[in-house]
Structure formats: C-alpha cells, structure tokens
C-alpha cells in the first residue's frame, strides 16, 4: 500500500470515528500518523540525485508575492495589469504552464509577483504539478489567493486552504507558543503556564511516542490544540500571510460584492474593468510590512532617491538591521544614530541599535572617533620613553 492510500485510509477512519472525550486520544494518534506520512510524501525518494523538476525563479526585489488559485480565475490578467509583463490569457483552462515572474514598482520599492499555474484538488499529492506550485508559494512573503466571485468561492477557498495546509503552509496564523526540545536522557518533561482544554499530558505522551520520541522537554505557553503541537514537532511549517482576492466582481450583484468585501483578509477587484487595483496594491504593502528608511550623510541632505527597504520577515526593522543593510562593519563603528520620523518622540532623537524604525524614517549614523595613540600637543597622555631602564640608550661619555 502506497503512502497516499494509507493517508486516505486513516482519513476515512477519522471520518467515521465519533468525536467525544473517549476518542480524543485515538484521534490525536491518527493525526500524528497523517502528519508523518505527509512529511514522507514531500521528501524526495532515497538515492535520487538532483532536485527534480521545478520552475523556481531567482528572488528579486524587496519582496515576493505568489498568485495561487484555480484555473481561469484571472491570475495571468492580474499579473499583466500590475506589472506590465505579458502572461498569456485564454478562455480555456491551464493556459499558464510554468512560472511567469513580473515586477511591481510601488512606493520606491520593487515587489516580485509570480504567476503560477492553476492548482486543482489533490495538488498536495502531486496532481497538476501541484507540488512545484506549492514549493514556490513556500518561498514567498505573501500569497494572493485569487478566487472567482461569480462561482461558489467558499468551496474553492476551503479546497485551496486544505491543499496548502496539507504540505505545511499555515495561512494567516502565528507560530504556536510551545517550547519543544529533544533530549538524550531524562524522559519527557511536561509543563504548562496556561490552562489547556484541547490537549493534556497523556495525549502529549502518546503523540510523542508515535514519533518515537521518549526524551524531550515540552512547555505550553498558550491553550494550543493537537494540530499545533504536531506542527511544532514536525518543525517544517511555514506561517505566511494570505489575502483572498475575489476577481470578476463586474458580473455579480452589489449585495454579493458587499458580502465578499466584508470577509476577513479579503478584497474585491475586477481585472476586466480595472476596479480596485490601487486598493489591492495598498493592501499588499500593508500585509508585507515593508519599511523605507532614508540615509542622511553628516552635514548633507537626506538621500530620498534610493531608500533602504527593511521588513520584519526579512531580518527586522531596527537600527541594527539598517546598519547591516548599509555595511556589516557599521555596527561596530557606530556611536549612536540620529533618527527623524514617526518612530521618535522628538526630531532628531539619539537612538541605539534596538530602536524600531517606521516607514519613511531618516537615519544618520554617527561613528566613534578614532583616538590617536600618541595624543595631541603637549598634553599627550602617553610617553614615548622605553618602559624599562635596561632598554634606554646609553649616552656617549663626556669628553675630558
């Protein structure tokens, strides 16, 4: 029996098992088994050489956004509208067969937009080049899930979310506050700082034994679920932001448009009539959390032409991260930083390395002054005389 058949068999067993207090331990073990099998499904076969087929493109710009959706929902048209890069669009499905990159120039930054082939149900198992598409989505900073507003979008949205979660992508979620560390000896140490309602110590032990882990340290800092604990054990989950883009709103009624626009993490557009595209770009900018920081040389005007673009997902947004963007040795030479902008109480403000920067801040780095070892003038602090008497030069004897 293959891995896919075993996964389907366990899913069928979970579907026919009643959910109550008596079966929660059994369901927890079944969830752990499915997670292990799906991890094996994503791993390359042993002895295989090379990375296999794929259409990964080189990262470019200050951020990467991936377009994911069913075939013929308008992904290629959206890429052409936002970037100017031509992506073939037709009335038949699977027009796009490879990854087509484009670049969005917005707010003095460059955002890479990827048009990926449409995925179908079963993409996590490899159908329709689904694994390659999802692998590119894992390397992105933001996912735009493009949905057709004229169709039953809720079912499509649930199918796509399920396919992405099956391969370790967690949309619009934060990593669970669970500390987990394997040990060589000492057994399993279980502690919690919050009341748990979804999992207990016995179920935690059973899940760890399913993974053949008998020595570990576990600390729950929040009321987490069984799925959260399995994600922490696997350690290969990617937590990524997702915006649900409902296209083709020009063919539905105003009531449907109002209902879709009020859903969380959603935005409505029309590529055909070019409606609400500017709002989509602003939403992408807010979700990615890009921060533009302008440098100011000492005694000169700030350079507003080429900003340094920071991001919390790519390094951080502190003064130390700004110094590393300029040059990696600048942190050692910095004495303090003068910052102008919304992140300070007054302008300018003397800040240290831990100061958090906000969008359009101006930063001037003040370096430490290099001391002259010999000092200056007649008040020099160091003597050039030898340290020991034996090292002194003997004067020539006086003439008699």
Torsion of CA 300, 301, 305, 308, to 10 degrees: 70
Inside any domain, residue 48: no
Average pLDDT over residues 193-213: 89
pLDDT the model gives residue 237: 86
Same structural domain, 364 and 302: yes
Report helix, strand or coil for 396.
Answer: coil
Beta bridge pairs of residue 252:
none
Tell whether the model's pLDDT for residue 27 goes beyond 70: yes
Inside any domain, residue 369: yes
pLDDT the model gives residue 116: 80
Q: Domain end: 254, 288, 322, which one?
A: 288
Secondary structure element (H or E) that encloses residue 282, with its range:
helix 277-288
Higher per-residue pLDDT: 258 or 19: 258
Lowest-confidence segment of 77-86, 330-339, 384-393 by average pLDDT = 384-393
Q: Give the CA distances from residue 278 to residues 86, 224, 263, 282, 283, in Å, rounded to whole numbers and listed in that order.
A: 20, 38, 19, 6, 9
Average pLDDT over residues 239-250: 91
Secondary structure element (H or E) that encloses residue 55, with its range:
none
Same structural domain, 330 and 199: no
Higher per-residue pLDDT: 75 or 48: 75
Report helix, strand or coil for 367.
Answer: strand
Contact (CB, 8 A) for 160 and 81? no
Same structural domain, 230 and 259: no
Highest mean pLDDT among 115-119, 247-251, 377-381: 247-251
- What's the pLDDT band for 266 if we cut at 50, 70, 90? very high
Same structural domain, 165 and 246: yes
Cα distance between residue 206 and residue 218, in whole Å: 13
Tell whether the model's pLDDT for residue 339 goes beyond 90: yes
Same structural domain, 209 and 279: no
pLDDT the model gives residue 3: 77
Average pLDDT over residues 172-180: 91
CATH of the domain at 311: 3.10.20.30
Cα distance between residue 81 and residue 148, in whole Å: 17
Residues 6 or more apart from 324 whose CB is under 8 A from it? 315, 330, 331
Secondary structure element (H or E) that encloses residue 109, with its range:
strand 109-115
Beta bridge pairs of residue 142:
65, 241
Report helix, strand or coil for 214.
Answer: coil
Q: Give the CA distances from residue 24 to residues 29, 196, 206, in Å, rounded to whole numbers and listed in that order.
A: 9, 14, 11
Same structural domain, 73 and 216: no
pLDDT the model gives residue 76: 85
Contact (CB, 8 A) for 113 and 101? yes
pLDDT the model gives residue 178: 92
Residues 6 or more apart from 338 whose CB is under 8 A from it? 296, 348, 349, 350, 351, 363, 364, 366
- pTM for the full model? 0.77
Inside any domain, residue 364: yes
- What's the pLDDT band for 379 if we cut at 50, 70, 90? low
Tell whether the model's pLDDT for residue 49 goes beyond 50: no
Per-residue pLDDT tens digits for 216-225: 999 999 999 8
Higher per-residue pLDDT: 135 or 120: 135
Inside any domain, residue 327: yes
One DSSP character per residue, 116-143 reads: PPP--TTGGGTGGGHHHHHHHHHT-SEE
Cα distance between residue 147 and residue 312, in whole Å: 28
Same structural domain, 145 and 36: no
pLDDT the model gives residue 134: 73
- What's the pLDDT band for 382 if we cut at 50, 70, 90? low
One DSSP character per residue, 69-106 reads: ESTTSSHHHHHHHHH-------SSS----S-EEEEEEE
What's the structural domain count of the chain? 3
CATH of the domain at 161: 3.40.50.300
Same structural domain, 132 and 204: no
Q: Which domain holds residue 355?
A: 290-395
Tell whether the model's pLDDT for residue 384 goes beyond 80: no
Tell whether the model's pLDDT for residue 170 goes beyond 80: yes
Give the percent of the chain with pLDDT over 90. 28
Same structural domain, 367 and 380: yes
Q: Domain end: 271, 288, 305, which one?
A: 288
Inside any domain, residue 56: no
Angle, vertex CA 143, rays to CA 317 and CA 134, nearest 5: 120
Cα distance between residue 142 and residue 290, in whole Å: 12
Same structural domain, 278 and 315: no
φ, ψ (nearest 5 deg) of residue 318: -100, 175
Per-residue pLDDT tens digits for 289-310: 899 999 998 888 998 888 999 9
- Mean per-residue pLDDT of the chain: 82
One DSSP character per residue, 331-361 reads: HHHEEEEEEESTTSSSSSEEE-TTPBP-TTE
- What's the pLDDT band for 92 if we cut at 50, 70, 90? very low
Average pLDDT over residues 216-239: 90
Q: Domain end: 234, 253, 273, which one?
A: 234
The residue written with tokens 């796509």 in the block is 160
Same structural domain, 246 and 333: no
Beta bridge pairs of residue 270:
275
């Amino acid at each position: 029996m293959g891995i896919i058949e075993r996964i389907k068999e366990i899913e069928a067993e979970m579907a026919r098992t009643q959910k109550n207090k008596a079966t929660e331990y059994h369901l927890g073990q079944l969830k752990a088994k499915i997670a292990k099998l799906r991890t094996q499904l994503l791993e390359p076969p042993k002895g295989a050489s090379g990375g296999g087929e794929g259409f990964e493109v080189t990262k470019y710009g200050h951020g990467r956004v991936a377009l994911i959706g069913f075939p013929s929902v308008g992904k290629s048209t959206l890429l052409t509208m936002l970037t100017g890069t031509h992506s073939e669009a037709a009335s038949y499905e699977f027009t796009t067969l490879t990854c087509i990159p484009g670049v969005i120039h917005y707010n003095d930054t460059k955002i890479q937009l990827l048009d990926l082939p449409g995925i179908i149900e079963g993409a996590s198992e490899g159908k329709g080049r689904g694994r390659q598409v999802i692998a590119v989505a894992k390397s992105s900073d933001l996912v735009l899930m493009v949905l057709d507003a004229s169709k039953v979008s809720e079912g499509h949205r649930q199918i796509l979310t399920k396919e992405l979660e099956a391969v370790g992508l967690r949309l619009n979620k934060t990593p669970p506050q669970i500390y987990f560390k394997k040990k060589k000896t000492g057994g399993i140490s279980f502690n919690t700082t919050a009341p748990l309602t979804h999992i207990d110590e016995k179920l935690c032990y059973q899940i760890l034994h399913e993974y053949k882990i008998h020595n570990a340290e576990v600390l729950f800092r929040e009321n987490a679920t069984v799925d959260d604990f399995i994600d922490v054990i696997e350690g290969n989950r990617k937590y990524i932001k997702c915006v649900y883009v409902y296209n083709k709103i020009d063919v539905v009624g105003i009531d449907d448009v109002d209902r879709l626009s009020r859903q969380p993490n959603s935005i409505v557009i029309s590529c055909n009539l070019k409606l609400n595209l500017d709002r989509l770009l602003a939403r992408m900018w807010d979700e990615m959390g890009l921060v533009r920081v302008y440098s100011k040389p000492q005694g000169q005007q700030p350079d507003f032409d080429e900003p340094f673009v920071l991001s919390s997902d790519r390094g951080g947004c502190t003064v130390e991260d700004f110094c590393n963007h300029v040059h990696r040795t600048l942190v050692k030479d910095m004495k303090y930083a003068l910052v102008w902008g919304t992140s300070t109480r007054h302008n300018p403000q003397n800040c240290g390395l831990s100061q958090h920067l906000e969008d359009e801040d101006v930063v001037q780095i003040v370096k430490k002054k290099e001391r002259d070892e010999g000092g200056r003038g007649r008040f020099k602090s160091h003597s050039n005389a030898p340290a020991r008497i034996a090292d002194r030069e003997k004067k020539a004897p006086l003439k008699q």
